[in-house]
Amino acid sequence: MSGGVQFTIDAVDGRARVGRLDTGHGTVDTPAFMPVGTAATVKALTPDMVRATGAGMVLANTYHLMLRPGAERVARLGGLHRFMNWPGPILTDSGGFQVMSLAGLCSIDEVGVDFRSHIDGARVFLTPERAVEIQDLLDATITMVLDECTAFPATHQEAAASMRRSMRWAGRSREAFRARDGYGLFGIVQGGVYPDLRSESAATLTGIGFDGYAIGGLAVGEGQATMFGVLDATVALLPADRPRYLMGVGTPADIVGAVARGVDLFDCVLPTRSGRTGQAFTQAGTLNLRNARHAEDMNPIDASIDCPASRLYSRAYLHHLVRAKEILAAILLTWHNVAFYQQLMADLRRAIAEGRLREFAARFVAEYENGGG
């Protein structure tokens, strides 16, 4: 392989695509969902368990790993793949989301972001160049530019200033990136909920040129209808021959709608976080295993999912584990949830390849939103 990462589109249905992202650490079938492994671990699961769900790529986080254990240490220990025993592709978020989520612990200017560590209060200054360097030290397969995740709500003026700074940072990130075979750098479209700003951002990024294009600053409180509207205005502006990544999204219904709008890659903490709080995703909606209605239910969570946690343990047992606050509850429910998301992605790829995505999406969303308990 030469020239970064390679993206091939194998089938199209409307705006949705089935493709392959070939990297130096393996191939990812798209549309794909990346389990979140912020601190070099998908919480509650071993790498073998994550692989068994069908996941092809995981996400880790630059900000958290630079604080602990430190990028230089990970590099000395052989890189992130060896460190966390995940030989497949890894995408690293640059720390831009933490500019919003840790707003009380940071200040931002043209040069970069001045963080106060949430661990020990130490000062850490993150620039676009340092963010790219950290991801290089980690040996990230896909590096993300440093950006500012614009908070919601934001005025047009606030969103414009934030977006334009992120675009300047994107150019600096591009210059700092060390190009090599099998590795890629993604730009991030910002601009809040304003189509004209999204258009300006997309034009700036495509002018710079990246291996893939992410859409950031969504799923931050704007609601699904607004998010879909932003995607309708943005996705068509991005190069058709490059992967498109919707950051931090989302619910199963969010993903189905975004795939139909031409998005290829997703990540979200929902399946793992929900697994730690007693919630399971099913085709009939979400189940709250704390509910007494499950106390004597001997049915599995979902026998159609090819995962031991989905098929071999009763809802009654899982209800007991959750109520007893046993660690096994988080393990089994997280395993099932990640497997459910991977099955959804496989079903979406099949539906696109067979030209029946519209039918699949309508049926899935209707069943998902009318069920649960």
From CA 227, how far away is CA 215, in angstroms rounded?
Answer: 11
Sign, Cα dihedral of 17, 164, 251, 358: negative
The yes-or-no answer on residue 347 being catalytic is no
Amino acid, res. 67: L
Is 119 in contact with 69 (CB distance < 8 Å)?
no
- Of the residues 13, 136, 254, 267, only one is catalytic, namely 267
Is 267 in contact with 59 (CB distance < 8 Å)?
yes
Taking CA atoms, 345 is separated from 23, 34, 183, 214, 334, in Å, by: 19, 10, 24, 18, 17
Taking CA atoms, 23 is separated from 4, 8, 51, 122, 299, in Å, by: 8, 12, 17, 36, 41
- Of the residues 93, 136, 139, 264, only one is catalytic, namely 93
Place of tokens 């599995």: 300
From CA 29, how far away is CA 151, in angstroms rounded?
Answer: 32
Closest C-alpha to 198, from 164, 174, 221: 164
Instruction: List, in order, residues 6 or more apart from 12 with CB less than 8 Å away.
Output: 18, 352
The yes-or-no answer on residue 267 being catalytic is yes
Closest C-alpha to 136, from 168, 94, 188: 94
Q: Is residue 265 classed as helix, strand or coil in its secondary structure?
A: strand
Retrieve residue 19's tokens.
């493709």
Q: Listing from the earlier edge strand, what are the strands of the sheet with 106-108?
A: 106-108, 113-116, 123-126
Rg (CA), the chain: 20
Residues annotated as catalytic (active site), given as ranges? 93, 267
